[in-house]
Structure 1
Amino acid sequence: MAAQMTDAHRRFLQVLMSHGIMEGSEARKLHKHCCEVHNVYYAHDKLADFISTINRQLQPLFMQIRKGMSEDDGRAHYALVNLAETEITKMASDYTENELELFRKTMDLIILSENGFAPSTDILNLADQLKTKKMKKKEAEQVLKAFVEDKWLSERNGEFTLHTRCIIEMEQYILSNYQDVARKCNICHSLAIQSQVCESCGIGMHLPCIRKYFRAQTEPRCPQCNDFWTCDIP
């Protein structure tokens, strides 16, 4: 018999909604806290079951709590995803039309790049090329800052990549709209933006997945074709 939705589940959902995305260790702490506050049975290894109960209630609303991985350090994250909106239109209530166009063009640069990053200079150069309404570079800088604050983009040393929240929420959109270039990690089978690619067979792997996989191997060989892995192990 499926577990029933309780106030502990509702509290967990409310907190996750307010955060947008939550790192795995924080989600586990929240799970324990919600169960203790509402006197609901708690087991440290039952977070997945706890979330499944919430997801059954969210299904008619076309919402789902999804688990994803940070491409930077491999840590698990949880995000609430709107399944009814499969495109960037899910951001439409927060941004203007030309801001959304800038985001789409930024996503193009990131996904089409070799390393999953787009330099800020390349993004800012797009500001006066927007079809909806051109932006001044100063304005574009503020929009990029908002994308980072809202956890759609991450910035590192003047370069931008997709935030973990964005990857979790838009994985299907990216796989559908960038079929020729978007790939899934050969190890965890999730969308890989920051990845290394086998020069022989073309499979890709997340950097954290590469570290974990090759740590257990005597020599670095591709898990697909068994050829020598020529990229530097991160």
Structure 2
Amino acid sequence: NTMMAVQMTDAHRRFLQVLMSNGITEGSEARKLHQHCCETDKVYYAHDKLDDFISTINSHLQPLFMQIRKGISEDDGRAHYALVNLAETEVTKMASYYTEMELELFRKTMDLIILSENGFASSTDILNLADQLKTKKIKKKEAEQVLKVFVEDKWLSE
């Protein structure tokens, strides 16, 4: 894999800066931004070359373990772009150790904790989340086991 990366222009850098400050950017916004950056920096613009434009940026982000990723929203089916971290961190490793259902329970638990007045969530409230999971409804006993594992793994404390 010794392909020479295409040189980044100011248009690429401008696009990346705006994407970084906006966070997740809807597809049509990304296309407008692509056009704006190319026109502002007097760089060749082709309306159907957004993916190539982003690939150029990604080739330069690779050594930093970063990448602009395109994802499709589950809500409206539209494309969105975001800069993501590809480095293996404790949190990203978490995704490979736990099932989707366990991660959903963890996220909902974190939401309860964050929304609480005191930074705590009662185990009763957390166990009541068990039948609200989108991935798979589980019994309270099962949820209790999952929470025990999160405590043992030091993601949560009792």
Shared topology, TM-score over 0.5? Answer: yes
Cα distance in 2 for residues equivalent to 1:69 and 1:39: 30
Distance 1:5 1:12 in 2: 11
Please give the root-mean-square deviation of Cα atoms over the aligned residues, in Å: 3.5
Q: Are 1:137 and 2:116 an aligned pair?
A: yes
Aligned match for 1:25, one of 21, 25, 28: 28
Instruction: Give ranges in structure 1 of 5+ residues lacking alignment.
Output: 91-104, 112-117, 128-134, 142-158, 162-234
- Unpaired segments ≥5 residues, structure 2: 94-100, 121-131, 135-158
CA distance in 1, matches of 2:23, 2:102: 21
Distance 1:8 1:25 in 2: 17
Task: Report the alpha carbon displacement of residue 64 of structure 1 after superposing the two structures with TM.
Answer: 0.5
Q: CA deviation at 1:109?
A: 1.5
**Any idea what SS the aligned residue of 1:33 has?**
helix
Distance 1:160 1:6, change over 3 A: farther
The percentage of counterpart residues that share the same residue type is 71
Kindly report which structure 2 residues correspond to 1:136-215, keeping only aligned pairs within 5 A, or say none: 137-140=116-119
Residue type at the aligned position of 1:53: T
Q: Greater helix percent: which structure?
A: 2
| Distance in 1 between residues matched to 2:90 and 2:80, nearest whole Å | 21
Q: Which residue is equivalent to 1:35?
A: 38
| Matched-pair contact (CA < 8 Å) for 2:72–2:78 | yes
Whole-angstrom CA distance in 1 between matches of 2:34 and 2:133: 32
Residues paired across the two proteins, number: 113
* Bigger share in strand: 1
Counterpart of 1:59? 62
Q: Answer whether contact 1:9 1:34 (CA < 8 A) is retained.
A: yes
Please state whether the residue corresponding to 2:31 is helix, strand or coil: helix
Q: Which TM-score applies when normalising by structure 1?
A: 0.41
Aligned to 2:55, the other structure's residue is in SS state helix
TM-score when normalising by structure 2:
0.60
Higher RCO (C-alpha under 8 Å, 6+ residues apart): 2
Larger Rg: 2
- The CA deviation at 1:2 is 5.3
**Runs ≥4 residues deviating over 4 A:** none
- Alpha-carbon displacement from aligned partner over 1:170-210 (angstroms, at most 9, x marks no partner): xxxxxxxxxxxxxxxxxxxxxxxxxxxxxxxxxxxxxxxxx
